[in-house]
Amino acid sequence: MSEIVKIFLELAKIPSPSKKERPVAEYIKNYLAKYPTIEVLEDRTGQKIDGNCGNLIVKIPGGSPHILFDAHMDTVAPCDAINPQLKNGVITSDGTSILGADDKSGLALMLALIDHLMTDDFPHPTCTFLFTVCEEQSLMGAKLLEQKYLDSVDYIYVLDGEGPIGTAVVKTPHGCKGTLKVIGKEAHAGVCPEEGINAFVVAAEAVSTLSIGRIDEETTCNIGVAQGGTATNVVMGELSLQFEARSFSPQKLEELTNHVKETFARVCQQYGAQFEETLQLGTPGYQLADAAPILTAFKKACEHEAVVYQGAACGGGSNANVYRMRGINAVNLSTNMQNIHSVNEQIAAADLEKMLTVLKQLLQKVK
């Protein structure tokens, strides 16, 4: 069994839900303790989010440019007891939990890459390794990282993508989400229902006139949570709907959210109800040109390792979106984790090994 696979299996066994990443952070600190010259810094993000751990930062001096690798320590649930299985070259859980390849594959690759930098004598760029917290909850760890850790960084490679090894996420959507709230009027449903205004009925009419789901090839929207009502014998007085929209086009996103708000406002007015909303734009999406320098080095590394490069669009965001929002050239690279956020999550041992060879070459190719 290769060292990268051993590291991943050890990490996968450690439960680390968002805001409770401390055990994984301690594993990382203990793993790197064998290198006396390495200092593992921990920031104060944990205190800011009421978590038990902050982001970890490891910097290894070198030449120019300064590149940063990023992976997140937290996973989604269920993750209380994870029993990774390696069968026929594929790593899975035992079916009762997630595996945590999202994103412990990235963590394992970063630790193995640090080993490479510390034990093999070769000229290399200055490298920072950022192990973030709370990525699964609105990318909070990356958003709250102090700017001083990013000021001198030229490129950021986030190791948190899906797709075959060699995939770079070059296009991600812009997003908007929040609450759509219909305020009607309560009344006794059996005595005087005509005196009430049923918030559910109002909202249902508004939603029925909207397109929900896939709007076009660039745009989606969804209502994922509905909360309202107090009892079956009371006309529903309020209903809150949790709404989100995403689009690769900022203009389409704006048009869609305006249409949703205008539709709810119009229907509410017809029924004598009130409408409130808290829709807000999220972390911006991004689109990279094929000739972007951050991609050039990755393409050369892939070519050297006989890996097919491909640029891909992704319907979700990652820490790369945060760093680009903060003005740093960043891209998300795939570790080929599959079926993430489910008990069917898996990753191939060979993909961990292959991605490590690509990243080693990236250190040589980046300029």
The pLDDT of 203-226, averaged and rounded, is: 97
3-class state of residue 254 by DSSP: helix
Tokens encoding 140? 């909070």
DSSP 92-125: E--SSS---HHHHHHHHHHHHHHHHHHHS----E
Catalytic residue list:
74, 135
Distance CA 150, CA 65 (A): 13
Q: Is 174-281 in CATH node 3.30.70.360?
A: yes
pLDDT of residue 69: 98
Average pLDDT on 318-329 reads 96
Q: 306 pLDDT exceeds 90?
A: yes
Computed over every residue of the chain, the mean pLDDT equals 97
pTM above 0.75, yes or no: yes
Which 3 state secondary structure label does DSSP give 279? Answer: coil
Residue 221, helix vs strand vs coil: strand
- Domain ranges for the chain: 3-172+285-365, 174-281
pLDDT of residue 174: 96
Task: Tell whether the model's pLDDT for residue 5 goes beyond 90.
Answer: yes
Residue 157 — pLDDT band, cuts 50, 70, 90?
A: very high
Q: Cα 202 to the chain's mean position, in Å?
A: 35
Q: How many CB atoms lie within 10 A of CB 287?
A: 12
**pLDDT tier at 190, thresholds 50, 70, 90:** very high
Amino acid 367: pLDDT = 87
Percent of the chain with pLDDT over 70: 100
CATH top-level class for 3-172+285-365? alpha beta
